Structure formats: C-alpha cells, structure tokens
Amino acid sequence: MDNLRSVTHMENIRLSQDRRSLIIADQTKLPNSHEYIELKTAQEFYDAIYLLKIRGAPAIGVFAGYAACILGAQGPMDSAHAFIAHLEKQCAYLNSSRPTAVNLSWATGRILSRAKELCGLAPEDILPRLFDEAAAIHDEDMDMCRRISEYGLSLLKDGDGVLTHCNAGPLATSRYGTGQGPLFLALEKGVKLHVFADETRPLLQGARLTAYELHKAGADVTLICDNMASIVMKNGWISACMVGCDRVAANGDVANKIGTSGVAILAKHYGIPFYVLGPTSTIDMSCPTGEDIKIELRPEGEIREKFYSQPMALPEVKCYNPAFDVTDNSLITAIITEKGICRPPYAESLKALFE
Ligand code: MRU
C-alpha cells in the first residue's frame, strides 16, 4: 500500500516556501531518475512546458496557475493597472508554449480574471489572493481526479484487461490521474486488472511514465509498442480502453496524444468500449468541433533521433510530427468527468454539465 500511495499522492508540483519558484519532477528524466528541478523565470517556465518537463493537461494547468502568480510578483508593484498589464503579458507568453491542452489557457485565464476582479486593491493585496486561486486550482484537481477515478472504475470489473495510451496518471495530474486514475483506484480497492500500456511514440510517455507509475504502484502492467494494440484486442485481452484528453470540443470530439484516434478505430472494430476521462476544465464549449482544435506540431528530430543511440533516419528525410490527433465523437463510448459519465449525443450531455 505504501508503494501505491507514494505513486498516487506523489508531489510533482510544489510552490517554494517563499513563493518565488516552482519545484517539479522533471518528467523528461523518467524512468531512469526521479529528479526535481526548481524554476523561477518566464523562460524556464515556458521551456519546462514546451520540453515536456511538466506535461499532461491537468498538470500543465496547475503549473501554469502558480507560474502566472510568480511572474506577476516579478512585475511592477506601483499600480494595479501596471501589475495586471504585466500579468496579462506573462499569461499570454505561457499560453504560447503549447497550443492544444486547453487547461493551460484555462488556468492562466482564471488567475487573470481573479486579478481583474481585484483591480481596486493594491498589487501587494492582489498577489496573495492570486496564490490562493492557484492553490484552489491545485486542490480542485486532486478532488476531480479522485471523482473521475471512481466513475471510471465503476465501468470496470475484476479480471478486466485495459488498454491505455500516453500518460494520464499521477504525473500528468495532481493525484491518481484521469485516463489511468481508475487503474490506481482499482489497486487501492483490490480490483484485479491487467493493463496494457502503449509505448506512445515518439516521446514514449507510455513506456517512460505510465509503465513506470503502474509498475511502481504494484499493478499488472504489460508494455506494448503502439502497433501491437490490434493484436492484444484480437487476442481478447482487452475489455476496455481508457485515455485522457487535452481538449474536448462541444460535440464530443476529443484531442489527445497522437495515436489515440487509431486506438479508438481499432476498439470500434473489435467491439471494445473506448472511454475518455478528463476534468470539465478540459471541455472547451467555445470550440464547436475537433476541426477547430489547433494541433501542435513538434520538431522532426523527435522522430528521427530522439531516444536512439544513433539517428534512425537520414537527416534529409522529411518527418511529420503532430503531437495530438482528434478522435471522432462517434468512436467514443463515454466521456467521464468529475461531474459524471456523459454518453452520446455529446452535444447534449456535455452542455448539461455546465447548466
Ligand atoms: O504531450 P503530452 O505528454 O502533454 O500529452 C499528454 C496527453 O495526451 C494526455 O493524455 C492528456 O494530456 C491527459 S493527461 C491527464
């Protein structure tokens, strides 16, 4: 149980005592070393998100909430107007680090709105209230993940095989996770599951992070290459697929890690339920369909050479490296949020969450 709790409750994002820096587990170093780094400047915060030292939509949101406050404190303190103008610029800079996960702009937007509500106060009185808001985002995320995990586990039974893609566990959130939260809760409740983790090319979040977290927690986890999802489904080893999400459009189309839509298409073919799990902060009702979601393109070198001891393609070979894809809502059995389980038609069930 101790190993399990050390994973589900790991402290992957911490505000320093003096509130001038953030301490995070550097996810690019896992699974070989679990190192913490301290970040203070706008450039360091931007790079940490862009380089995936911190990653996973909810974790990026929590991180960005605190980062916005720290950067706010580095700005002018002589007037609320100047303080808020500086904060707005810093939030826009953070938002530009990665475009797809809506939790990033959702969290910085929440800090900025709070600052604007408080514009009648002096900056030194606004600031502590902004840190309270960032801490509230963090606390709410812990609570949401637990609820999502409970709802998700209600869809599974003892002996089930579950296929996951990318990492949507404790490292990607504040606790438990979303897409993989039910798998940790199952361990806590003594429900036996067999997990198959896609390695998730090109950045290997499944191999480096999901397999690491689940193995460390004591789960029965088997790592597979992405192109093996079909065979494990065909073998009858998979009862459900569970994934996280980076942005859910109002019609239920879901952007998540590249390869997710392929898993959903396979699941449909084999008649396996495909579940998406995420907090309501990941649902973007201002985005009508998946067509309207901006997909991040990443450097070609991540395909050609990253993680290889020598390049595996000639430098002149063109690469296309989208970080996410969109799964059509028709392939999704249910979208599981902290407020409950949404079923098709999603245009209605998602709207009801906000009413
Ligand atoms: O590029 P990443 O590693 O940030 O992508 C992460 C994912 O796609 C996750 O599935 C998603 O953010 C949900 S994390 C709870």
167-218, pLDDT tens digit by residue?
999 999 999 999 999 999 999 999 999 999 999 999 999 999 999 999 999 9
36: helix, strand or coil: strand
Q: Per the structure block, which two tokens stand in for 319?
A: 């690469």
User: Which protein residue's CA is at the shortest distance from atom 10 of ligand 1?
Assistant: 244
Residue 268 Cα distances to 175, 225, 271, 289, 349, angstroms: 30, 20, 5, 20, 21
Ligand 1 touching residue 249 (CB < 6 A) = no
- If phi over 0 gives left and psi between -120 and 50 gives alpha, with beta otherwise, what is residue 316? alpha
Question: Across residues 235-263, what is the average pLDDT?
Answer: 98
Tell me the C-alpha distance between 107 and 141, whole Å: 11
For 122-152, write each residue's pLDDT tens digit: 999 999 999 999 999 999 999 999 999 999 9
Mutate which of 243, 257, 284, 325 for ligand 1 pocket (most atoms within 8 A of beta carbon)? 257
Ligand 1 touching residue 102 (CB < 6 A) = no
* Bridge partners, 194 (sequence order): 161, 220
Ligand 1 touching residue 323 (CB < 6 A) = yes
| Closest by Cα among 168, 244, 242, 183 to 218 | 183
Residue 169 alpha carbon, nearest atom of ligand 1: 15
Question: Across residues 250-268, what is the average pLDDT?
Answer: 98
Tell me the C-alpha distance between 210 and 198, whole Å: 9
Ligand 1 touching residue 205 (CB < 6 A) = yes
Rounded to the nearest whole angstrom, what is the distance from the C-alpha of residue 128 to the centroid of ligand 1?
30
For 51-105, write each residue's pLDDT tens digit: 999 999 999 999 999 999 999 999 999 999 999 999 999 999 999 999 999 999 9
The mean of the pLDDT values for the chain is 97
Query: Residues for the chain: how many in total?
Result: 355
Mutate which of 205, 277, 336 for ligand 1 pocket (most atoms within 8 A of beta carbon)? 205
Sequence-ordered list of residues with C-beta below 8 angstroms from that of 251, at least 6 positions apart, any chain: 288, 289, 290, 329, 346, 347
- Whether this prediction's pTM lies above 0.75 is answered by yes
Tell me the C-alpha distance between 74 and 239, whole Å: 51
| Closest by Cα among 151, 150, 107, 147 to 130 | 107
Written as one letter, the residue type at 151 is Y
Tell me the C-alpha distance between 249 and 192, whole Å: 33
| pLDDT value, residue 232 | 98
Tell me the C-alpha distance between 75 and 261, whole Å: 43
Q: Is the pLDDT reported for residue 1 higher than 70?
A: no
Buried b (16+ CB within 10 A) or exposed e, 277-292: bbbbbbbbeebeebee
- Span between the terminal Cα atoms of the chain, in Å: 39
User: Dihedral of CA 83/59/329/229: which sign?
Assistant: positive
The structural domains of the chain, ordered by start, are 9-145 (1.20.120.420), 155-353 (3.40.50.10470)
Ligand 1 touching residue 256 (CB < 6 A) = yes
Question: Across residues 7-36, what is the average pLDDT?
Answer: 97
Mutate which of 26, 53, 55 for ligand 1 pocket (most atoms within 8 A of beta carbon)? 55
Rg, Å, the chain Cα set? 20
Residue 58 alpha carbon, nearest atom of ligand 1: 15
* H or E segment and range at residue 198: strand 194-198
Ligand 1 touching residue 245 (CB < 6 A) = yes
Alpha helices, DSSP H, located in 281-328 = 301-304
Rounded to the nearest whole angstrom, what is the distance from the C-alpha of residue 222 to the centroid of ligand 1?
20
Supply the DSSP symbol for 296. Answer: P
- If phi over 0 gives left and psi between -120 and 50 gives alpha, with beta otherwise, what is residue 166? left
Tell me the C-alpha distance between 117 and 86, whole Å: 16
126: helix, strand or coil: helix
Sequence-ordered list of residues with C-beta below 8 angstroms from that of 9, at least 6 positions apart, any chain: 170, 175
Positions marked active-site: 246
The model's confidence at residue 2, banded by pLDDT at 50, 70 and 90, is confident
